[in-house]
Structure formats: C-alpha cells, structure tokens
Amino acid sequence: MPSTERRLPGFLSEVEAWISAAALALMVLVPLAEMAMRPFNGPGIDNAAALVQHLGLVLAMFGAVAAERHGHLATLGSDFGSNFAGPKLLQAITRGSAALICGQLAYAAARFVASEMEAPSVLAYGLPVWVVQASMPLGFALLGIKLGSRCSTRLGLRELAAIGLPLVGAGLSWAFDGRALPLFPGVLGLIVLLLLGTPIFAVLGALALALFWTDGLPLASVPISQYQITVNPSLPALPLFTLAGLLLARTGAAGRLGQVCLALFGSGPRGAVLAAAVLCSVFTAFTGGSGVTILALGGLLLPLLRQSGYEEQRGIGLVTSASALGVLLAPSVPMILVAILVKVPIQQMFLAGLLPALVMVASLLLFGGYLRGTAGGGGARPPIAASLWAAKWELAAPVVAVGSMLSGLATPTEAAALTAAYAIATTAFAHRELGFVKLGRALMDCAQIIGGVMLILGMALALTNYLIDAGIPDRAVEWVPGVIPNRWLFLLALCAFLWVAAALMEIYAAIVVLVPLLLPLARYYGLEPLHFGILFLAAMELGFLCPPAGMNIYFASAMFGKPLAQVAKAVAPAMGAIFLGTLLVALVPGLSTWLPGLLGVSGGLTV
C-alpha cells in the first residue's frame, strides 16, 4: 500500500469501502421499509425500485475500488508470467496495463454521463440520475490511480504512474474515439496480459473497447453496458443474498449445521463425508462463491473428516469439489444471473435447480468414490432433537429466502433483503455472535466481492452486446445444424464446449458472454430455457476445479497449505464425477423441468 495511504486516518484510508458498505446497508433497508409500508397503502419510498438498483451501481463501483486495495480483483490465476519475469516487473506490466485501460474506461464513462446530463431525468427526491451515474467515471479513475500506484514502490515514480497511466489511457480514447483501428494486434496483446495476471475485468473491458473501436463505434457503449447490468431489476438480489451467506459463514452457523448433519448421518467416516458434501453445497449457494466456502468451512470440515478416520488427501478433494456444487441451489448468485439472461422467473429457476443439485452431489459421492470404504467407525451421534433446536434459526433461513418469493409476499429483491435482515437479526440477537464491528466488516467484504464481480459482468456484457449486434448467434444457428444433425449430439457437443469454456473463463464472465450467444442455438434444438440454464450451471461447476480458471484449487491450496499439484490431483476423481453428473442433467431434461411444472410456479423478475 502506498505510504500516502498509510498516513491517512483509518476511516479516510478506506473511504471507498465505507461508501460501498453504506450503499449495501441502504439496499437492505429500503426494500424492508417498502414492505412494511405496503399494507397501509401509503405513498411509500419515492421510486424505491430504481433507487435500490442505483444504490447497486454505487456499491459496485466503490466496492471494486475497495477490492483493488485488498487485492481481490479476479485474475486468471495462472503462473504463466512467473516463467518470463520477476514479481516486480510482472506487477508493473499487469497493473500498469490495467491502469491504462481504466483511464480509457473512465473517459468512455464520462462521455456517457455527459450525454445523460443533456436531458437529465430524476431518480428520487429531486436527485438527478446522472449524479449516481457519475460514480462510474469516478470509480474507473480511482481504480486507474490505485492500479498505477502498484507499478513501483519508488517515491516519485509511483505517483507518476498513478496519475500518468490513467491520463494516457483517457488521452488515447479521446484521440481515437469514433475512428476504426486494427483489431488483431490488440487481441494478441490482451491474451498475453491475461496470462500474465492482469485483472479479468480490464482485459474484457479492453477487448470490448477494441471491438467498438474497430467498427468506429462510440466507446461510451462499454460503460452503458456496465450501467445496464448493474441497474437490472433483479441484480440487487446478488449482494443481499451474498451478505446473508457471509454472516452465516462467519458466525457459529457452520458448527451448528455441522452438528445437525452428524446427528442425521452419523459421526463415522460416512457421516462426515455426507456432512461435508451437504454443508459445502448449502454454504456456496448462500455465499455466492465457492472460494468463500472453502475459506469459511475448510478449517472446520477437514479436521472433522480426519478425526473420523478419513484420509486427508480424499478429504481435501471432497471439500474442494463439494464447494463447487452450490451454484444449483437457491439462492445462488450465478443461478439468479442465468435466470435474468434466459428470461425465466427466478422462482422457477430456484425450483429447477433442486433435483439437478441432488444429482450432482450424488454423482460426486458415488462416481467420485468419496463414499468408498466409509462404512462403520465413529462414535455416538449428537442428539438429533438438540442439534435441530440449536440450529433452528439457520435451518429456517432457506425458508425465508425462497418461501417469501414462492408465496408471493415478496419480490426477489425484497426476499433477498429480508434474508439479509434475518441473518443479521438471528446472529446478533438470537446467538449474540454479531456486533457492530463484525457487521461493518461483513458489509465491506461483501461490497468488495460484489464490486469485483460486477466489473466483470459489465465488461462481459459489453462484449456480448457487440457480438449479438454483429449477428454471431444468428450465424451459429445457420451453421451448426449443418454440422450437428440431432439434439442428442448437440447436447454432447454443448457439454464438451462448456467444460472447456469453464476451464478457461471466470464463471460470471462465461455466463454473461456465452448464455446469450448459445440460447438461440439451444432453442433451435428444442431445449427449454429452463433446462438450458440449469445445464449451463451444471457444466460451469467443473470449471471451479480445472486450471487455469479453476479458483477452488487455488483457494484450497492456500487454505490447507498444500502444493497446487497435490490439490489438483485430489480433485481429479471429482472432475470425472461432475462430468457424468452433467451428462445426466443434459440427457434427462425432466430433472430440471418437472418440479417447476408440478408446482406451477410462475412470477416476474421485477424488484
């Protein structure tokens, strides 16, 4: 961290984290206030839905700046660059190029805001929308300054890079905006930067800028996509469910739920394996990140498995791989995002994922061999009634999250806010495990996670919008049927393609880029959007375990203190098992469509 930051008072040194945390807190409070006032038929909060959505924009931009400060901006996770350069030179190249790109994005975002100022609209209580939109050029500029300051530790040179690189990027955008430029050299350079460890959002953003540049189109199209995805009516559910999951993961909830699992499944090796698989899947669904699950539960579950007599290597493989399976369970953040993109009600998507999630967990345990040799052993089970009573508040959390939506009492965003408030209330008052300091830290950490993710989503959507405007999905629908003659071969080819894509792309970028491109093709072959969405998510689970983009193996290596190669070897059986589970989900569409059809659940995506 630069010395100028170290000299600031604690509050000022993390002002962007406090701003993003305050925005997240308001995102919890506004929907709750709206729900409370609804029975009285009063005016409610002025334009509450749009207000919450634009708070999400503030959260995303300032949360991303905070994420950069703490080194939480996602990279490919490759060691490629270390073969060619030392760590200082490598950081100068990757952070310097990202600072340059942020300068370009700040210029493009400023152009977008300037156009909005020409015909301003009011958000709420007289506040112009452009005032909130101004967080985009400000956020990109701050990111560029902070990334530039990482290029050197030498006084003077560090400040020069922090100010100069974003300014150079903005100058390049100003000079060439609207002019056609050659694409091929830039794409090659971006591939190299990605492999060296440049933040993923910067590479995607630069690629989108390059594509719009090539056709002489306005660069403001890129920040427009960032704005569109961030203020989508259903997007506020992402940070709110993530906040609830973080609060549960950082208190005693994991231990209480672990006791329930041991009481139900037994305390021997088999019971410990089942408990680990269930707990990891459930926590990933709530936290929105399998890496968070490994960090939160790894220290609890691996000793539990070892104490039951389970082999450590297999235990590492189980915890690492089971943490990838929660994306098919409500209220998973990737599931919400896929529901938005395939235009399926979130309620339906939540129900559609239930049976495939069970299939994937069963495939992992059976085909992965994690249940082999686990019969017998173990001591007395914890008392079932006492364990259930101790964990009653945690067990009710999914009922609050999903039940409020299915009953029609709450929209997706209101249900997410209600779940976050429930997690705060139960951990603070029922268990007395949450104080103001821990709550503030959870708000800031959640903002960092979501900020980094939203940057990737916005840049990926800009890339997707360009490809759709270029007619790529239509061309695929015309070409692919001539090569793949029937639905079953298409399903196999789709699974193979998604497995490769999952290994090479970060999951959120893969969802935003690939779902809109592949959906028309899936419809051509008769796949329902619901089935396609669930199949896509199932295939993406493999990507958490497969390098170079498989973040679970990197988190597990750090958490368990084991070499990366050892962790990769431990999850190899799980990769084959998830492969087979995905095939079952692909070839048996009823696994995804039967339950929503049986219950007749429908609903919109409005806030």
- Of 346, 291, 305, nearest to 544 (Cα)? 291
Which backbone phi and psi does 119 adopt, to 5 degrees?
Answer: -135, 75
- Residue 154: C-alpha distances to residues 88, 149, 150, 161 (Å): 12, 10, 10, 11
pLDDT at 172 over 90: no
Start-to-end CA distance of the chain, whole Å, equals: 39
pLDDT grade for 42, boundaries at 50, 70 and 90: low
Residue 122 forms beta bridges with which residues? 128
> Are 223 and 108 within 8 A, CB to CB?
yes
Query: How far is CA 9 from its chain centroid?
Result: 32
pLDDT at 59 over 90: yes
Per the prediction, the chain carries an average pLDDT of 82
Fill in the amino acid letter for 160. Answer: L
Which residue did the predictor score with more confidence, 554 or 197? 197
pLDDT for 181 equals 64
**173-224 confidence digits (pLDDT tens):** 888 766 666 677 778 888 888 888 888 889 888 888 888 887 777 888 888 8
Contacts (Cβ under 8 Å, ≥6 apart) of 403: none
**Per-residue pLDDT averaged across 425-438, rounded?**
89
pLDDT grade for 9, boundaries at 50, 70 and 90: very low
Contacts (Cβ under 8 Å, ≥6 apart) of 241: 286, 288, 331, 333, 336, 401, 416, 419, 420
**76-122 confidence digits (pLDDT tens):** 655 554 455 567 788 888 888 999 999 999 999 999 999 989 888 99
pLDDT grade for 605, boundaries at 50, 70 and 90: very low
Per residue in 377-387, is it b (16+ CB within 10 Å) or e — as a string? ebeebbeeeeb
- The structural domains of the chain, with segments of one domain joined by +, span 3-230, 237-435, 456-598
Q: CB atoms < 10 A from the CB of 72, how many? A: 15
pLDDT for 85 equals 55
**331-381 confidence digits (pLDDT tens):** 787 888 899 889 888 888 888 999 999 999 999 989 888 888 766 655 667
Per residue in 429-453, is it b (16+ CB within 10 Å) or e — as a string? eeeeebeeeebeebbbbbbbbbbbb
Contacts (Cβ under 8 Å, ≥6 apart) of 426: 393, 394, 397
- Residue 44: C-alpha distances to residues 5, 52, 379 (Å): 42, 14, 56
3-class state of residue 183 by DSSP: coil
